[in-house]
Amino acid sequence: MTDPPNRLLFDRVLSLARADARIRAVILNGSRANPAAKPDRYQDWDLVVLVTEIAPFIRERSWLDALGARALVQTPDDMGDKVWPGQGRFAYLIQFLDGTRLDLTLLAAAEYLAGHIDSLSVVVLDKDGLLPPLPPPSDADHRPRPFSARGFAACCNEFWWVSVYVAKGLLRDELPYARLHLEGILRPELHRMLDAWIGARTGGARGAGKMGKALATALDAADWALYLATCAGPSQEAHWHALDACCALFAKAARAVAAAGRLRYPDEEEAGARVVIAGWRSA
């Protein structure tokens, strides 16, 4: 478990848990449980709290006041059109005014034990000895998984299919349409391929990181520069440059992944998309 300078929020949760008989155990997850993670002031606290009954912690929420002054709270299990069904997990995502952040998940002990226990888990409180001995925390559950042949083909197909949508939006001068396809669909597929590429190069020891946050250190200087070129500025021309860079980097990564995994790269799909886009641009 990392030992960051400011543990006040963690200590408050632990103090609350020790004093409340309804709380039976607390497990630390996430980057603060990762011995390889570099601690900083922006890390969330990810805590699973095992309770005798979840509903009372939802009906009456004044217990949260002991944790600090809140700026924002989100309850993804009970917001918008989603209504908590009365069982299962319930999460409080809390941003505090002092800048600290807590992701607190309430869970019944039986449900926790019946499910998969994340490799980044550290037991910090167990009043009843309910929890089995856990191995030392590691990021084993969060390392890149090699593509299957179908998964690789689907990623390539989606990327090249949607690249044509981006071009169409730019040619129609519909920048929001083009931008949303570039960022909302192409970039996630690019990240998937980069994750697999980095994983193949490191024997699965590293990946792109959540939302690509490790790309700056996982890619070499030239590929990182090419990635930065995929981030478009406000002009239409800048979006064309970004699309070109995105296609170049995806193709490079995908060919390397195909070679490493003995997968078939769909050259004909890339060629077809490029022919269509080039034909439109030259018309």
Task: Using DSSP, state whether 268 is helix, strand or coil.
Answer: helix
Instruction: Examine the domain organization and report whether 114 and 29 are in the same domain.
Output: yes
DSSP β-ladder status, 70-74 and 45-51: unpaired
* Residue finishing a domain among 115, 141, 167: 141
Mode of pairing for the β-strands spanning 23-29 and 70-74 = unpaired
Domain count, the chain: 2
Give the pLDDT confidence of 168-226 residue by residue, as tens digits.
Answer: 999 999 999 999 999 999 999 999 999 999 999 999 999 999 999 999 999 999 999 99
Pair (172, 132) in one structural domain: no
Residues 31, 109, single domain; the answer is yes
CATH number at residue 171: 1.20.120.330
Q: Are residues 150 and 95 in the same domain?
A: no
Share the mean pLDDT of the chain.
95
Residue 263 lies in a domain: yes
The pLDDT of residue 281 is above 90: yes
Which of the listed residues 141, 175, 209 is the one where a domain comes to its end? 141
Between residues 154 and 210, the one the model is more confident about? 154
Find the CATH number of the domain harbouring 31. Answer: 3.30.460.10
Are 88 and 172 part of one and the same domain?
no
How far is Cα 261 from Cα 197, in angstroms, rounded to an integer?
Answer: 10
Rounded Cα distance, 235 and 218, in Å: 29
For the chain, how long is the longest CA-to-CA vector? 73
Could you tell me if 102 and 184 lie in one domain?
Answer: no
Same-domain pairing of 13 and 124:
yes
Same domain, 125 and 161: no
35 is a domain residue: yes
The reply to whether 89 and 150 lie within a common domain is no
Q: What is the pLDDT of residue 1?
A: 47
Domain identity same for 111 and 41: yes
Residue 112 has pLDDT above 60, yes or no: yes
Closest by alpha carbon to 120, among 47, 189, 58? 47
Question: How high is the pLDDT of residue 267?
Answer: 98
pLDDT of 174-184, one tens digit each? 999 999 999 99
Residues 106 and 156 in one domain: no
88: pLDDT strictly greater than 90: no
pLDDT at 87: 83
Q: What is the tens place of the pLDDT at every residue in 20-58?
A: 999 999 999 999 999 988 888 899 999 999 999 999 999
How much is the pTM?
0.90
Please give the share of the chain, as a percent, with pLDDT higher than 70.
Answer: 98
Query: 45: domain range?
Result: 8-141
**Residue 5: per-residue pLDDT:** 43
Q: Are residues 184 and 124 in the same domain?
A: no
Cα dihedral 157→162→167→171 (10° resolution): 140
Which of 141, 169, 195 terminates a domain? The answer is 141
Tokens in use for 194?
A: 């980069």
